[in-house]
Amino acid sequence: MAYKQLKLWFDSELTQMLAQKINEIDFKWDSKPLTKGIQTELDKLELKDRVELIADRLYQSFNKDYTKGLAVLMQILGPENEEETGMFTNFYWIMPIAKYVEKYGLNNFDLSIKAIEEITKRNTGEYTIRPFIEKHPNRTMAQMLKWSKNKSKHIRRLSSEGGRPRLPWASKLQMFIDNPQPLIPILNNLKNDSSKYVQKSVANCLNDILKDNEPIGRQIIQSWNNKPTKQCQWIIKHALRNFIKKEEAWALKITNSLG
């Protein structure tokens, strides 16, 4: 993917690419509701709205039948992303499919959760999962706890990244700003994760918790700071970066003890 402003990749060429992939699965599918006249509308929009428009057009192209459309879209995702990068480069084109699930799949929990698993192995489900957390908190958090033990680093990362109280580019999860306790079992499962990709997510989630609930964040760190692994040490240091910059004594004491 050559350098170009990210929003500009969500254009009529992308919809044509999606149409071609879909027609390879369902040759009777009509691409016009997705592609016809879309560039004129896209030109007026920024990134997030472009992604949403394409998702809306996809929904219309399947006659507003979410499950029928999802069955086809899951077949065009292609091979999994083996790297810890690439979600916004090689796999950027999956973002409208993620938005399709986010916007139209809330009433089909089981199907949508399976779809999010597949999407996040290639792009990311961190934005898609958030409305599910809000509408189905118990079921979704139980699923995310299971994900925290998954063999896929992408799925493990989703279990912490998706629940971040202050995830960039996303609406705040006020429920976890008010009470981050449901996140703690997930973070505990991931505190020694071997993947740097996952470690960064855990640290960032803990950093979010510290912004609004410093006593709880400090308790988590203190519980981890008993002969922590190298992975856990890195997470703690990264989570405390803002406090270290401010030269807060308690944070400096912890990081100095880690070596």
Given a cut of 70, is residue 3 above it in pLDDT?
A: no
Q: What is the mean pLDDT of residues 246-254?
A: 92
Q: Please write the tens of the pLDDT for every residue from 150-203.
A: 999 999 999 999 999 999 999 999 999 999 999 999 999 999 999 999 999 999
Residue 66, domain member (yes or no) = yes
Q: What is the mean pLDDT of residues 230-243?
A: 96
Q: Please write the tens of the pLDDT for every residue from 110-130.
A: 999 999 999 999 999 999 999
3-state helix/strand/coil string of the chain: CCCCCHHHHCCHHHHHHHHHHHHHHCCCCCCHHHHCCHHHHHCCCCHHHHHHHHHHHHHHHCCCCHHHHHHHHHHHCCCCCCCCCCCCCCCHHHHHHHHHHHHHCCCCHHHHHHHHHHHHCCCCCCCCHHHHHHHCHHHHHHHHHHHCCCCCHHHHHHHHHCCCCCCCCCCCCHHHHHCCHHHHHHHHHHCCCCCHHHHHHHHHHHHHHHHHCHHHHHHHHHHHCCCCCHHHHHHHHHHCHHHHHCCCHHHHHHHHHHC
Q: What is the mean pLDDT of residues 142-147?
A: 98
Residue 71, domain member (yes or no) = yes
Please state, rounded to an integer, the average pLDDT across all residues of the chain: 95
Residue 94, domain member (yes or no) = yes
Residue 8, domain member (yes or no) = yes
Q: How high is the pLDDT of residue 232? A: 97
How many CB atoms are closer than 10 A to CB 42? 19
Q: How high is the pLDDT of residue 90? A: 81
Q: How high is the pLDDT of residue 213? A: 97
User: What's the total number of domains in the chain?
Assistant: 1
At CA 63, angle to CA 60 and CA 67, rounded to 5?
100
Q: What is the mean pLDDT of residues 68-88?
A: 90
Q: What is the mean pLDDT of residues 10-23?
A: 98
Q: How high is the pLDDT of residue 86? A: 58
Q: What is the mean pLDDT of residues 221-229?
A: 94
Percent of the chain at pLDDT above 90?
A: 92
Give yes or no for a contact between 98 and 128, defined as CB atoms under 8 angstroms apart: yes
Residue 199, domain member (yes or no) = no
Q: What is the mean pLDDT of residues 85-108?
A: 91
Given a cut of 60, is residue 138 above it in pLDDT?
A: yes
Full residue range of the structural domain in which residue 17 is found: 1-125
Q: What is the mean pLDDT of residues 13-31?
A: 97
Residue 5, domain member (yes or no) = yes
Percent of the chain at pLDDT above 70?
A: 98
pLDDT band, very low/low/confident/very high, at 218 (cuts 50, 70, 90): very high
pLDDT band, very low/low/confident/very high, at 2 (cuts 50, 70, 90): low
Residue 173, domain member (yes or no) = no
Q: Please write the tens of the pLDDT for every residue from 63-75.
A: 999 999 999 999 9
pLDDT band, very low/low/confident/very high, at 4 (cuts 50, 70, 90): confident
Return the biggest CA–CA distance within the chain: 66
